[in-house]
């Protein structure tokens, strides 16, 4: 029963922190038991203490850099125990996270990309091993926290995107397009649960049903990347997009997912990569497919990470394979980094695409085995 | 063992077929086949060919009707993973050639939440004499500590006059030749091996073939290639033990011991310019080939298997078989006795953008040493063969095919990677 309380608390608190820290004296102290100050800038991530007792830890993160940052606490295998996203320069946010005894890593991600600036974090004290069912419940709880954080960010970034579109700011809208979509693509299998919301938000022109108007992200993408961009008539489309995103965010946060849905979602995201992103079909006007590619892989990783304790218990060899293959995908993808973003799909050669395709196949095949491991009694 | 479960795929048919067919099948019905013009597959064509043996199956095995050939690049750097995959492949190959599913669970018997360990499209089909033959390309030996184990005979083929090779469909670190009398059985085998190999190997190219263009047993009639001519009349046959020893199987002392009992596979994708060939006169076609189109007899002879006389001249004193005729240039007497066992297939990859058949011969030959067989013969053909006007060599590959696995304790990589 203790489990349930833990999950509820973490779910409610993970993203709740907002500006309660003192921006002037961030990393100064950090008494044992009190909030742990984290001083983040564009090149450093100073966590005032590297250890804590089992129970709730509170991190107070201050962004003193020029880039928007994020702060994560990872369990082995990059399982997200808690995170705060979108910490703008100058702001402070708090992260409350329930940590059983074990080895963790903290990470700041200036520019919100990459593996981040990591440091070890050790939690000591007693914590009872999970029963099988509790481990599965913990997995869905962990993933629910992830969905919450991603959908919150999706809403914020979609609002910014819609504002730019309605203001006629083509350059800004183009910059925000792949960023807003990142949060969408990480949790797309969850979005797909809700019937026609997914096609309305993310449908491509050829799948627009008869009698429906072509709207959503890709309609605006088409207008933004036209030879002569014209978004002057896209106001209503942008408004509808925001309405739909708000609806799906609310629904996604209320949805209770099963462990099997996590497993199938992890595979589904890689199928998305294989069929839509490697081919360049998804973002055919902007060619920003690699943003979506990366987001799909991150989302898949998050679902597997949530299941990790269960998988380690039941099939440790499979976990090892997945770690290796996720790392290979990251390596293959990292070759195509461009600044804080990615190369465009039409800048990749056929050989580049085959390398990516090989890496995805190598990962997707073992991931297709996760559902059976999760469902076995 | 898991066999009890796994036998499910084509249990009834496979077991029934295998009983009569097995190794003896081809020989037993040999006489009947010779009498038939088109050598329609008999009942044994549904049966199973033994996987293990001194030599790999699929070389002297009476040529099946269909081919799916695939070349892989090895993408892992981990030698252990590669060896494990070869062991996994062998286990799946043993199962599939005997008519079972690729994996022990099967296409339809697993739990609902898991993808099946067999893809299912061969369920209900007989073994169809499926053979799976593995080979190692020269590029494999630059990695995994294999440099010292590369036989000298295994080297990239030299460039031949007129080659128009596409690197994307040439070469490869590993190859698997799947032959069967049912194309779906051959495709099923390759598809499942490729799936098992994800993360270790990546398909580099693959080729479907139909209508074998050679016979590899005296029990088989000589088939025709897409030029309409009988092809492979003088091929080495499974029954010719002396020729096999001298020209096909690597002998003790030829090179590294792991290849003894193996053979070198040369593959060439040869596009035929069908439309222009079809407009050439019968006399020109026969002159180019050096054989009669009707029955395959050498020019000046009456029957297909009559010995060719390369010295015969007509009443003008001109050679009956032209100096530039294909049979003369390819004949062993013209090439220091060079022989090989050909095992090619016709291919039609649809049409090209100009509406012409994208078709030809997927040439496969097995030999003891390509430096004494394929290379000199192809040099002579490339330089002078009148047929070149109608041919384009568009892909090329060479692989070392190890001897056959000796039984369940051995896998495709055992001889190369162990010891």
Per-residue model confidence as pLDDT tens digits over A220-263: 999 999 999 999 999 999 999 999 999 999 999 988 888 888 99
Determine whether the interchain pair A375/B111 forms a contact, defined as Cβ–Cβ distance below 8 Å: yes
Interface test with B, best of A271, A361, A377 (most B CBs within 10 A): A361
- Identify each DSSP E strand in B55-212 by its residue range: 66-74, 131-136, 174-180, 201-212
Q: Is A364 exposed, middle or buried (0-12, 13-18, 19+ CB in 10 A)?
A: buried
What integer best gives the mean pLDDT of chain A? 86
Picking from A122-131, B113-122, B153-162, B196-205, which range would have the lowest pLDDT averaged per residue? A122-131
A366: chain B residues, CB-CB within 8 Å: 199
Which of B110, B113, B199 shows the shortest C-beta gap to A365? B199
Do residues A371 and B113 lie in contact, with contact meaning Cβ atoms separated by under 8 Å? yes
For residue B385, the 8-state DSSP code is -
What integer best gives the mean pLDDT of chain B? 89
Q: How far apart are CA B172 and CA B78, in angstroms?
A: 18
CB contacts < 8 Å between A and B, how many? 35
Q: What is the mean pLDDT of residues A295-301?
A: 95
β-pairing, A55-63 vs A341-342, is unpaired
Q: What is the mean pLDDT of residues B171-185?
A: 98
Q: Where residue B39 falls among pLDDT bands split at 50, 70, 90?
A: very low
Do residues B338 and B377 lie in contact, with contact meaning Cβ atoms separated by under 8 Å? yes
Q: Where residue A33 falls among pLDDT bands split at 50, 70, 90?
A: low
Do residues A150 and A269 lie in contact, with contact meaning Cβ atoms separated by under 8 Å? no
Determine whether the interchain pair B199/A375 forms a contact, defined as Cβ–Cβ distance below 8 Å: no
Look at B379 and A9; give whichever has higher pLDDT: B379
- What is the reported pLDDT for B7? 40
Q: What is the mean pLDDT of residues A273-292?
A: 94
CA distance A365 to chain B (A): 7
Q: Where residue B370 falls among pLDDT bands split at 50, 70, 90?
A: very high
| Nearest-Cα residue of chain B relative to residue A351 | B168
pTM: 0.79
- What is the reported pLDDT for A5? 34
Which of B75, B114, B195 shows the shortest C-beta gap to A369? B114
Q: Where residue A32 falls among pLDDT bands split at 50, 70, 90?
A: low
Interface test with B, best of A358, A367, A368, A371 (most B CBs within 10 A): A358
Q: How far apart are CA A198 and CA A160, in angstroms?
A: 20
Q: What is the mean pLDDT of residues A190-214?
A: 83
Residue B300, helix vs strand vs coil: coil
Interface test with A, best of B197, B199, B200, B203 (most A CBs within 10 A): B199
Percentage of chain B exceeding pLDDT 90: 82
CA distance A193 to chain B (A): 18
Residue B172 pLDDT > 80, yes or no?
yes
Question: What are A106-141's pLDDT values in tens digits?
Answer: 999 998 777 899 999 999 886 554 556 788 888 998
Q: What is the mean pLDDT of residues A207-211?
A: 76
ipTM above 0.90, yes or no: no
CA distance B113 to chain A (A): 5
CA proximity to B63, closest of B189, B174, B220? B220
- What is the reported pLDDT for B8? 40
Q: Which residues on neighbouring strands pair with residue A108, listed in sequence order?
A: A71, A117
A362: chain B residues, CB-CB within 8 Å: 75, 198-200
- What is the reported pLDDT for B273? 95
């Amino acid at each position: 029963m203790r489990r349930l309380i833990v999950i509820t608390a973490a779910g409610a608190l993970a993203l709740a922190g907002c500006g309660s820290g003192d921006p002037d004296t961030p990393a100064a102290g950090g008494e044992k038991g009190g909030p742990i100050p984290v001083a983040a800038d564009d090149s450093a991530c100073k966590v005032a203490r590297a250890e804590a007792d089992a129970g709730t830890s509170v991190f107070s993160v201050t962004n003193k850099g020029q880039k928007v940052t994020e702060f994560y606490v990872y369990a082995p295998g990059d399982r997200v125990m808690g995170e705060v996203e979108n910490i703008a320069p100058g702001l402070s946010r708090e992260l409350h996270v329930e940590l059983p005894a074990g080895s963790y890593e903290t990470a700041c991600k200036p520019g919100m990309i990459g593996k981040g600036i990591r440091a070890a974090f050790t939690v000591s004290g007693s914590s009872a091993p999970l029963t099988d069912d509790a481990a599965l419940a913990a997995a869905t709880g962990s993933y629910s926290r992830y969905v919450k954080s991603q959908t919150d960010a999706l809403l914020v970034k979609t609002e910014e995107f819609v504002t730019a579109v309605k203001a006629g700011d083509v350059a800004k809208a183009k910059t925000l397009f792949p960023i807003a979509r990142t949060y969408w693509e990480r949790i797309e299998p969850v979005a797909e649960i809700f019937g026609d919301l997914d096609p309305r938000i993310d449908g491509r022109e050829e799948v627009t049903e008869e009698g429906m108007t072509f709207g959503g992200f890709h309609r605006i993408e088409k207008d933004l990347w036209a030879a002569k961009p014209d978004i002057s008539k896209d106001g209503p489309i942008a408004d509808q997009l925001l309405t739909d995103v708000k609806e799906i965010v609310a629904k996604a946060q209320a949805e209770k997912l099963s462990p099997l849905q996590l497993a199938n979602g992890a595979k589904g995201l890689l199928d998305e990569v294989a069929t839509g992103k490697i081919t360049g079909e998804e973002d055919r006007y902007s060619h920003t497919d690699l943003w979506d590619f990366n987001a799909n892989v991150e989302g898949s990783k998050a679902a597997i990470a949530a299941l990790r304790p269960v998988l380690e218990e039941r099939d440790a060899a499979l976990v090892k394979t997945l770690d290796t293959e996720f790392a290979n995908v990251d390596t293959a993808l990292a070759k195509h980094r461009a600044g804080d973003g990615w190369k465009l799909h039409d800048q990749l050669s056929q050989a580049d695409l085959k390398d990516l395709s090989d890496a995805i196949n190598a990962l997707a095949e073992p991931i297709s085995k996760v559902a059976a491991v999760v469902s076995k009694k | 063992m898991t066999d009890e479960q796994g036998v499910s795929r084509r249990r009834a048919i496979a077991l029934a077929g295998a009983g009569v067919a097995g190794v003896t099948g081809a020989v037993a019905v040999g006489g009947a086949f010779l009498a038939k013009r088109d050598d329609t597959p008999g009942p044994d064509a549904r049966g199973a060919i033994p996987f293990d043996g001194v030599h790999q199956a699929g070389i002297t095995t009476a040529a099946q009707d269909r081919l799916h050939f695939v070349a892989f690049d090895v993408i892992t750097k981990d030698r252990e993973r590669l060896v494990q995959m070869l062991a996994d492949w062998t286990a799946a190959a043993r199962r599939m050639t005997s008519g079972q599913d690729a994996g022990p669970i099967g296409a339809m018997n697993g739990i609902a939440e898991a993808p099946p360990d067999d893809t299912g499209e061969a369920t209900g089909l007989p073994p169809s004499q499926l053979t799976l033959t593995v080979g190692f390309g020269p590029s494999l030996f630059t990695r995994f500590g294999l440099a010292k184990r590369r036989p000298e005979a295994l080297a990239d083929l030299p460039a031949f006059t007129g080659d128009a090779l596409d690197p994307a469909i040439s070469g490869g670190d590993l190859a698997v030749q799947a032959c069967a009398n049912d194309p779906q059985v051959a495709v099923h085998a390759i598809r499942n091996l490729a799936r098992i190999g994800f993360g270790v190997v990546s398909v580099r190219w693959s080729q479907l073939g139909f209508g074998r263009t050679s016979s590899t047993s005296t029990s088989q009639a000589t088939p025709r290639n897409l030029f309409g001519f009988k092809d492979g009349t003088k091929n080495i046959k499974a029954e010719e033990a002396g020729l096999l020893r001298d020209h096909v199987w690597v002998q003790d002392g030829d090179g590294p011991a792991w290849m003894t009992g193996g053979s070198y596979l040369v593959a060439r994708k040869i596009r035929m310019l069908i439309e222009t060939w079809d407009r050439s006169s019968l006399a020109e076609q026969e002159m180019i080939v050096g054989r009669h189109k009707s029955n395959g007899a050498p020019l000046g002879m009456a029957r297909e298997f009559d010995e060719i006389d390369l010295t015969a001249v007509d009443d003008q004193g001109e050679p009956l078989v032209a100096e530039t005729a294909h049979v003369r240039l390819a004949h062993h007497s013209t090439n220091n006795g060079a022989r090989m066992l050909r095992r090619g297939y016709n291919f039609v990859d649809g049409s090209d953008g100009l509406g012409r058949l994208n078709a030809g011969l997927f040439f496969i030959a097995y030999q003891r040493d390509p430096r004494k067989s394929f290379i000199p013969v192809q040099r002579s053909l490339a330089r002078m063969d009148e047929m070149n006007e109608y041919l384009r060599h568009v892909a090329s590959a060479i692989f070392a095919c190890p001897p056959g696995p000796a039984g369940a304790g051995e896998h495709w990589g055992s001889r190369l990677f162990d010891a």
